[in-house]
Amino acid sequence: MPLVSMRQLLDEAAKGGYGVGAFNVNDMEQIQAIMEAARETRSPVIIQASRGARQFAQDRYLYHLILAASELYPEIPIAMHQDHGNSFETCKSAIELGFTSVMMDGSLKADGKTPSSFEENVEVTRKVVDFAHERGITVEGEIGVLGGVEDGHGAGGSGLDHITDPDQAVEFAERTGVDALAIAIGTSHGAYKFNKKPDGSVLKMDVLIAIHKRLPNTHLVMHGSSSVPKDLQDIINQYGGKLKETWGVPVEEIQLGIRNGVRKVNVDTDNRLAITGAIRKVLWESPEKFDPRDYMKPAREAMQKVVALRMTQFGQAGHAGDYTPVSIADIAKGYKDGSLSTRPLVAAK
Ligand code: G3H
Ligand code: 13P
Ligand code: ZN
């Protein structure tokens, strides 16, 4: 089937009360791993590419690989999403290339490092929403700032530095008309999120719940949602790696989020760990090997296993065939005639 609107995937997820994993890709094998996991678990899926990924792979390759996936797996609804767009121009170029969804991360300035002001964030996000919705494309915005730095993107620091203020989240949703709202609740990108199993002092699920109470119909997005499982860390270290002890976001906390309005769950690091562990194992155990297929195949299988598990844990498994995808042109009409309203329902404090 053709690539579908992320808005439709998230609306359906809200009806079904589940979350949808959004998995980052940089190459063909990662796309293949996600698609095999989606088929195995019968899941709709969001495949996302960061600016770094678009540069690394050349984005036309990624676009055509994802189109190939949609032909090869016609039973799986796929939304193709720009992760952490840093500017109107980045989002526009993604839309022009054929992405069906974009994130305008206006929580940072266009340098992708410096936190922006609330007004700057509203202004650039609103501009992207106007451009995207006219074309039937979904928009995710971010209010509050995540911790950490990935590939030069991010404000750095701890996830606690810029936690989302629920009142600002309400105003941001009202003024921008985003389809999905990423919030900062103490997570950060990458492997080093927490130095012990996180509790409520560092992972602010109470803030997420407060935002969901005020914006009960808004699709919330959790970034930095890798769980950084110990077994994946151990494989890397067993075969010559040097990861320091670290904790990610426990799956049960993500599931609590899903019960409180989280519809999109971003996962990259867990897949990176799975791939790296599998490659290290082959090269460590068989140093004579030099055919990339000898280590890329186990790497792809290791990623598939992680993705399939997350799809089951997030609840999207089994939902691939629940609905008939609406064309992007019809989604555009829906935004225009108001049937796909982006005016949030706001509950009193
Ligand atoms: O936003 C964070 C994702 O993990 C993507 O990371 O910018 O290194 O591709 P990246
Ligand atoms: P992780 O680094 O926790 O996988 O987060 C990925 C992410 O948020 C991509 O936008
Ligand atoms: Zn992110």
pLDDT digits (tens, 9 = 90+) for 212-222: 999 999 999 99
- CA pair distance 274, 326, nearest whole angstrom: 34
Residues 18-47, mean pLDDT to the nearest whole number:
98
What kind and span of H or E run contains 257?
helix 251-258
pLDDT at 150 over 70: no
Please provide the size of the chain in residues.
349
What is the token pair recorded at 55? Answer: 């540069």
Return the DSSP state at 87: S
From the list 167, 202, 163, 198, the residue with the least C-alpha distance to 183 is 163
Ligand 2 interacting residues, C-beta cut-off 6 A: 24, 83-84, 189-190, 223-226, 266-269
Residue 328 Cα to ligand 3 middle (Å): 25
* Residue at token pair 């767009």: 85
Predicted TM-score (pTM) of the model is 0.96
Tell me the pLDDT tens digit for each residue of 129-146.
999 999 999 999 999 887
Does the active-site annotation cover 83?
yes
Contact criterion met (CB below 8 Å) for 155 and 161: yes
| Residue 149 confidence (pLDDT) | 67
* Strand blocks (E) in the chain: 20-24, 45-49, 78-85, 101-104, 138-143, 180-183, 219-222, 262-267
Q: For 252-273, what is each residue's pLDDT tens digit?
A: 999 999 999 999 999 999 999 9
- Quick one: which atom of ligand 2 is closest to the CA of 225? 3
Q: Which of 83, 105, 165, 179 is an active site residue?
A: 83
